[in-house]
Structures are given as C-alpha cells and as structure tokens.
Structure 1
Amino acid sequence: MTEAEPFPPEPWDLRGRMHVSLWGPRRNRLPRWTLPEGVRPLTVGGRCALLTFCVDYSPEGTLAYRELLLALAVRQGRRTGCTAVAVWVDSEQSKAGGRTLWGIPKEIGGFAWEPWAGAPGTEHVRLRAPGTGEVRAAFRPGRPLPVRLPVRTRLLQEVDGETLAVPAHLTGEPSLTRASFRPDPAGTLAFLGEGRPLLSFTLEDFRFRVGFRPPRERLG
C-alpha cells in the first residue's frame, strides 16, 4: 500500500485475538438489517443464528485495529454463508476498505480493551458509537481445546447492486469462553441484553484471510 492509497488491496491477511459468540435470537427481535437481493436469514423455529466477533487485530497483519462485528447466517438459494450486518471499527482504513471492496457496513467507534481487575483472566471490551451508546462485554477464556480451528466460509455482501461471495478463511487455537454483554438499553444493540450466547470461544493468535484473488465471484 502506498501513501496515496486509502486502504490495502485485497486479500487482507489479518492476525490477532478474537472472542466469538453464537446467539439464537428470535428474528422479530432483531433490527431490520438490509440484506443483499435474494439473501435470507437461516431460521429454525423463528430463530436466527447470529455471530458476534470482538476482535483485536495486531500489527503483524495487513492492518491493526479493533472491531465489533455482527454477522447473520444466511442462504441464497442452496448456497449458505454469512452476511455482516453491523460493524464498528476504530480505523478509517478498515472502514473504507471494508465498504469499498466488500460492502461490509463498517462504522467508526471508540474501543477500550483491557484486563478486568475484578476478575483475573477476564478481558473487558467497551464500545462507544453513535446509535449504540456504550456496549460492554466481558470474556473469560477457559480450558484450551486440543485443536487448531480451520473455518472457510463466504460473506454474502452487496457492492454496487451486485452480490459478492467474499472468501473468508479463519484459523486459530480455540478456548471455550464465558461471555457476557451489557448493551445500552436505548441503543441499537439492546437485543444483546435480552439473553445469553449459546456458545462462546476465544481464538488465540488467529490468522484470517478475507477477500478475492482475481477473478471475483459474483452471484447476481
């Protein structure tokens, strides 16, 4: 990337530490997020599969920044994947690149990420952004699992009226984690305070590649 370029070219190879939580909210309790044409949430009994990612990307990767990302499990016909529906980052480069390259709706937010003195081993993350108010989350990783996790998926995102299937490949060393969220009850993420995650885990020293090598795949 040169000084004249606003963000790095794809694909991005990112590294760091992340906390992932899986939720099963009722669809009618979620905000009315806009999905690409023909893309629908995967639902079972009126409940969606929602993932939250609290990520601290390190300088060892393409960009260093912090992020809170919400993604819905979705389908388009027989194809399944995820769609990033709400994202906050503390990097203008990440915001510009995510929006321009892949249609990821990144917004700027302020993050605090620190150990929680009241509970040794626990990380405390705070986000403040317009519309969300203050969102607090705490993560206490438990016993590491004896595996290194590989996940390949596609982010189904809309760019200039076209639906892209953005390749994403994640690996890392997972630990089961206790997670809790305390969103502003008047903010856009208030629904996260209505229940607990179904499952949470932490990935240490993850590696995440996102984006295309030519040619790009277009779905419609």
Structure 2
Amino acid sequence: MSYPPAPWHLKGFSLQTLHLLDIERVRPLIPSELNIVSVLPGKTVGGVYIASYGAGSTMPYNELIVVSGLLHWQGKVGAWISHIYVDHPDSVVGGREIWGLPKQLAQFTWNVGKMPSVQVNHSGQTLCTLSSSWQLPGWPQPVSGPVFSLQHTQLLQFNGQGTLQLQLAGVDLTIDSTSPLAELNLGRPWLGFYSNSLDLIVNPPIPMHK
C-alpha cells in the first residue's frame, strides 16, 4: 500500500466558490438512488474547492474538488463530488481505494500573494482557473462536511471536519468550453471564499446499507 490509512490530516490554504446548479444538468452525474436537495425551484448547491496542503499534512499535495449537488438519502445529507484532481499519485490511489473518489492526476500552478490565483491543467488541457481580487478579514470557523461516494456498487458516506480561517472573497472562475467541468454550466459564483489557514481531518468512510 503506497498511501497512508485514513484518517488523513490536511493543512494549508484554499480558494472556494459556491454556485446554484441546474438539477436536470447534474442529475446524470449522481447515482439515481440519491435524492438531490432543491434549494430553489430546479436548483441545487455546488461549488469548486482548490487547496494546497503542505507542512503538517498526511502528505503534501494540491487538490481540485467539484461538488455537483447537495443530496439526501435515508435521513442523511451530504455533498456529491463528481470531479476531483490531485497532483500526487499516492493521493489518487488512496482517494479511489479508501473513499471511492474518482481522483485523477493534474498540474496546479499557484500565484500566492495578496491576490491568490491558481490554474489547474490535466492532460495538456486547462480545467479551470480561480483568482481572488479581494478578501475581507476572516476568523477561524469550525466546519464539518459530509460527503457521499460510490465504490464499485457500494454507497459510502464520510466526513471532513476541522477549522478554516474563512474570508469572504471576490473569486472569479474561468472554465474553458472544452474542459470536462463545462458540462456543469457552473456560471458565475454565488459566493467566494479564501482560507489562508485550514486544518482538516478526512475520516474513513462508512458503508451505507440499502
């Protein structure tokens, strides 16, 4: 086994966006047995999260997560990750074999400063670019994020929890029309956030029984 066992401890910084997504558009990306939560008529919540994990982490790597919907099933609520890219091969294998996440390798180019930005490329193609033009002062926020995933035919749920130094930010998202992410039609972010300090634990998954 080339990857460490769960839980994984992740420390670093991130840029994030929240979006309202068309339920009809994201439905094919989500297992049919999971119910999509409608927050407005025909709309669910999704978003883009790009983070860089460094010193103090289980392993150092960069990560792009695309959440394509908020779901509920058997009284439980969680997000669905339809696209996920990292730049460490052990993270790819661990993500697939522990949590059932469809991780792929990608390249991350960060411009870290007062106005951070990042571009993510996969197989010579630009997946997306996130850039922040402003941030408001923030403070540490406890977070807990339940996620559904699928490993072969087994539905799983796991939880990420910890603390984010969360700052409301102006975040622009650019997605090329040929990017695999274009199918979500994310559009302009509803909200944007920057966290210059995150400290998260990603717990082992729990099988969900039908």
Q: Which of 82, 89, 103 is the aligned partner of 2:79?
A: 82
SS of the residue corresponding to residue 136 of structure 2 reads strand
Q: Which of 35, 38, 42 is the aligned partner of 2:33?
A: 38
Mapping of 1:172-187 within 5 angstroms? 172-187=164-179
SS of the residue corresponding to residue 189 of structure 1 reads helix
Q: Is the 8 A contact 1:141 1:175 kept in 2?
A: no
Q: CA deviation at 1:134?
A: 4.3
Extract unaligned runs of 5+ from structure 2. Answer: none
Q: 1:205 to 1:111 in 2, by over 3 A?
A: same
Q: CA deviation at 1:192?
A: 6.7
- State how far apart, in whole Å, the 2-side matches of 1:194 and 1:209 are: 28
Q: 1:218 to 1:169 in 2, by over 3 A?
A: same
TM-score normalised by L of structure 1: 0.85
Identity of aligned residues (%): 22
Say whether residues 1:139 and 2:132 are aligned partners: yes
Say whether residues 1:218 and 2:194 are aligned partners: no
SS of the residue corresponding to residue 8 of structure 1 reads coil
Mapping of 1:68-217 within 5 angstroms? 68-71=64-67, 72-115=69-112, 121-130=114-123, 133-145=126-138, 147-190=139-182, 195-212=187-204, 217=206
Q: 1:148 to 1:171 in 2, by over 3 A?
A: same
Q: Which of 12, 15, 19 is the aligned partner of 2:15?
A: 19
Number of residue pairs matched by the alignment = 207
Extract unaligned runs of 5+ from structure 1. Answer: none
SS of the residue corresponding to residue 25 of structure 1 reads strand
- Residues 84-93 or 180-189, more deviating: 180-189
SS of the residue corresponding to residue 66 of structure 1 reads strand
TM-score normalised by L of structure 2: 0.89
- State how far apart, in whole Å, the 1-side matches of 2:147 and 2:184 are: 22
Q: Which of 14, 24, 28 is the aligned partner of 2:24?
A: 28
Q: Is the 8 A contact 1:22 1:49 kept in 2?
A: yes
